Amino acid sequence: MADDGVVAVYTNNAITDATMKNPNPFSIKVGMAQMLRGGAVFEVTTVEQAKIAEEAGGCAIVVSELPPVQGAAARMADPSLIKEIKRAVSIPVIAKARVGHFVEAQILETTGVDYIDESEVLTPADEDHHINKHNFRVPFVCGCNGLGTMLMRVREGAALIRIEGDLSGSGNIAETVRNVRSVMGDMRVLTNMDDDEVFSFAKKISAPYDLVAQTKQLGRLPVVHFAAGGIVTPADAAFMMQLGCDGVFVGSEIFNSADPYKRTRAIVQAVRHYSDPHVLAEASCVLVDAMAGLNLSEDRVEQYET
């Protein structure tokens, strides 16, 4: 996208590039990200959790460190932990870098990660600029909550988009649902829009016109888009898939259950068979214990009642 003449085609047609200056041009990164489509990505903080996610059928893992002390800055995970997890599993490994911190991204690329997540969950390093992702060989993941922001991140080189909701680990999926429905609604409006109206629509959502036009032509984003935030049950995961997402990100709180393998496996099955209620019912059985600690906080409940 940053290279002149780059065209990324999401369908089964060939993905082509007019220029091949980058050893891994954007279209190749888009293809690599599409390999995760239809899967569940699990956030892990230990080697043991990474092994459970792989055994359960996760398509990839996101390496994170334990939440920092309240008030402390959240940064990228320790490279030694990332390397240890890389050696322990064979599925793709994603590592988080702070927004705008291209040096952290350089370090993560050197460790051999398969994807870099420019994560809004970490403390931002640059409040005004995101990383120029075209300068890196590995594909980037970015979180967004609206169509205009999503296409801006794609312009910067993001090959996979997370439609974000509440990432606090509360188990509240309402914000994720709201953002997913908003994005899907905007894409439906765009698809049925007259070509002459696309210019004003692109201006309205502050997105590059060429990417807006491409989204209209494809009837979907030119890159894969997952849902993230509040997804803690098989039903949650299937919900996101039926709303039109390509996959889900699941937080590390999923491993706090009595049987983390059973819960991760159930979510993987729900993503793979999201339209089969019989499989979903089977996957949802005997998982109530894992809901402890994954509900809305008392403060939020009181606020809602008020």
d(CA 154, CA 207): 10
Per-residue pLDDT of the chain (306 residues; tens, 9 = 90+): 444 444 444 444 433 443 445 567 888 999 999 999 999 999 999 999 999 999 999 999 999 987 665 667 888 999 999 999 999 999 999 999 999 999 999 999 999 999 999 998 888 888 889 999 999 999 999 999 899 999 999 999 999 999 988 776 666 899 999 999 999 999 999 999 998 999 999 999 999 999 999 999 999 999 999 999 889 999 999 999 999 999 999 998 899 888 899 999 999 999 999 999 999 999 988 665 544 445 544 444 444 344
| CB-CB contact of 6 with 29 (8 Å) | no
> How far is the C-alpha of 111 from the C-alpha of 109, rounded, in Å?
5
Distance CA 251, CA 233 (A): 11
Q: Is 116 helix (H, G, I), strand (E, B) or coil?
A: strand
- Catalytic residue numbers? 96
Kindly give, in sequence order, each residue whose CB lies less than 8 Å from that of residue 265, ignoring residues fewer than 6 positions away: 56, 57
Q: Scanning the structure block, which residue is given the tokens 């322990």?
A: 88
Phi, psi of 30 (to 5 degrees): -60, -40
**Burial letters for 190-215: b for 16+ Cβ neighbours within 10 Å, e otherwise?**
beeeeeeebeebbeebebeeebbbbb
The rounded distance, in Å, linking the Cα atoms of 92 and 113 is 8
Q: What global pTM score does this model have?
A: 0.84
